Structure 1
Amino acid sequence: MSAKETILIVDDEKEILKLMEIYLKNEGYELLKASDGLEALELLGNNEVDLIILDVMMPRLDGIEACMRIREERDMPIIMLSAKSQDIDKIAGLSIGADDYVTKPFNPLELMARVKSQLRRYNRFNKRTDVSKDEIVIEDLVINVATHTVTVEQKEVKLTPREFAILHLLAVNKDIVLSMDKIYEEVWKEPYMESKNTVMVHIRKLREKIERDPRSPRYIKTVWGIGYKMESS
């Protein structure tokens, strides 16, 4: 295999690091290794990384907090590892930005398959949608960050500044579920204080402008009980 992607593996268990290193190197990937979240953030600041395998339970900075910090600036795939197997733990990991969740002990071959799947999906989507630094393209929806304009099926849609900010926030965090409090705090730049209806009203108006059928949206999906997301395809 001639893969050249760089993978950052983050785990405080040396045996797990070594096991993943053997299999990933055998597949041709470049590797970076960290033993906790703080070390991982430092490596990310100095290196280009295509995918992260991130353990949940670690000293200094755990995987949950590290994932949240990474998602503030990066959108590469994140696969979380955890000894916890309860559905609520998986939902928690996925809701804060992880793309996949693998329970320890794991089959290394299954992990390799998940790594390849996430990289294929990420690379295919980015080649299709990242037209320029100023544009985000998702199917027939084009968001121009420089001019603050939005077109759907080549027709310009007039959005308010708040509507544009919500749409842009969801688009740059594609495939990540954002809670209503997260959306409110990012867009309104103030603490979330039971402002659920405010966000819902803006999402409804946004859908009326960009969706063919707001009752069956293509772009902005509702994840019941958690929040909203925009999907890759």
Structure 2
Amino acid sequence: MNKLKVLIADDDANVCEILSLYLKENHYDVVEANNGQDAINLFKTTNPDIILLDIMMPDIDGYEVCKEIRKTATVPIIMLTAKDEEFDKILGLEIGADDYVTKPFSPREVIARIKAIFRRMPAPPEVLELNNDKYEFENFTVYVKQREVQVGGKKLFFRPKEFDLLLYLIRNPNIVHTRDQLLEKVWGYDFVGDIRTVDVHVKRIRDEFAAHNIDAIHTVWGVGYQFQPNGKG
């Protein structure tokens, strides 16, 4: 079995060295970048399975690197940040990060986050059976096995966890789900990120739907979120 490849992007040589050591001991392949531009270049040439991305880097910061990668790929990204303000964490999630770790951190914690992300990821598309298992609504259709959402035959862009969240809400319509419930059901008991992760993913789904005038996920203030279908499932 091929080893998973991790791209570490951090301008702190000590951080890179420590993470690289622990990752290799845990049977990961590692490539390293010390600035934002190198991170983008290595992402394009080495095709990593996951990226550990520092926010504060010279040349191009982690936010910009994340946005650039998200233009073409859904590879998992864990942000490494010395900042602990809520704004910085949420901003990272909003632009496409899957999780974050605040410095100083234990390398074991980082490896635990990596393992948690891969446990939550769906099976690769090539091993999924394609069939007509779908949910059809007035203005969009969800193909479950293909993990696709289409509007008028056009495929919408959803990252893996966004699709998982949408599908869970679709399968449990007209029920108000709290953020804690959604974290438990969609992310799992081992998720160690911020509860606002749910808000960020809901926002991404809504933004993608909004371009097609779809309003399916509703906020119940002070409680959580509810999917209200307008077609048939």
TM tier, shorter chain? Answer: 0.5 to 0.7
Find the residue that maps to 2:213 and give its secondary structure: helix
Whichever residue aligns with residue 24 of structure 2, its letter is: K
- 8 Å Cα contact 1:50/1:119 also seen in 2: no
Are 2:208 and 1:203 equivalent residues in the alignment? Answer: no
Structure 2 unmatched runs, 5+:
163-199, 218-224
Aligned length: 178
Partner of 2:197: none
- TM-score, normalized by length of structure 2? 0.63
Partner of 2:195: none
- 8 Å Cα contact 1:20/1:108 also seen in 2: yes
Whole-angstrom CA distance in 2 between matches of 1:218 and 1:39: 45
1:7-46 residue CA offsets vs partner (Å, 9 max, x unmatched): 0000000000001011000000001100111101111111
- The offset of 1:140, in angstroms, is 3.6
Whole-angstrom CA distance in 1 between matches of 2:33 and 2:91: 23
Whichever residue aligns with residue 214 of structure 2, its letter is: I
Partner of 2:25: 26
Evaluate the alpha carbon distance shift between residue 70 and residue 159 of structure 1 in structure 2; reply closer, same or farther with a 3 A threshold.
closer
Evaluate the alpha carbon distance shift between residue 39 and residue 130 of structure 1 in structure 2; reply closer, same or farther with a 3 A threshold.
farther
- 8 Å Cα contact 1:95/1:178 also seen in 2: no
- The offset of 1:89, in angstroms, is 1.1
- 8 Å Cα contact 1:97/1:177 also seen in 2: no
Partner of 1:66: 65
Find the residue that maps to 2:227 and give its secondary structure: coil
- The offset of 1:183, in angstroms, is 4.5
Whole-angstrom CA distance in 2 between matches of 1:121 and 1:49: 18
Whole-angstrom CA distance in 2 between matches of 1:153 and 1:15: 44
Partner of 1:126: 124
Whole-angstrom CA distance in 1 between matches of 2:73 and 2:33: 17
- 8 Å Cα contact 2:134/2:141 also seen in 1: no
1:163-202 residue CA offsets vs partner (Å, 9 max, x unmatched): x46xx12x2575374868x958xx9xxxxxxxxxxx3881
Whole-angstrom CA distance in 1 between matches of 2:102 and 2:115: 18
Whole-angstrom CA distance in 2 between matches of 1:86 and 1:35: 24
- The offset of 1:106, in angstroms, is 0.4
Whole-angstrom CA distance in 2 between matches of 1:70 and 1:9: 14
- 8 Å Cα contact 2:78/2:101 also seen in 1: yes
1:50-103 residue CA offsets vs partner (Å, 9 max, x unmatched): 000000000001000000110111111100011101111111111110011100
- TM-score, normalized by length of structure 1? 0.63
Partner of 2:116: 117
Whole-angstrom CA distance in 1 between matches of 2:35 and 2:103: 17
Evaluate the alpha carbon distance shift between residue 152 and residue 41 of structure 1 in structure 2; reply closer, same or farther with a 3 A threshold.
closer
Whichever residue aligns with residue 124 of structure 2, its letter is: N
Evaluate the alpha carbon distance shift between residue 83 and residue 159 of structure 1 in structure 2; reply closer, same or farther with a 3 A threshold.
closer
Whole-angstrom CA distance in 1 between matches of 2:69 and 2:134: 29
- The offset of 1:150, in angstroms, is 4.0
Structure 1 consecutive aligned stretches of length 4 or more whose deviation exceeds 6 Å: none
Partner of 1:8: 7
Partner of 2:81: 82
Find the residue that maps to 1:46 and give its secondary structure: helix
Whole-angstrom CA distance in 2 between matches of 1:131 and 1:172: 20
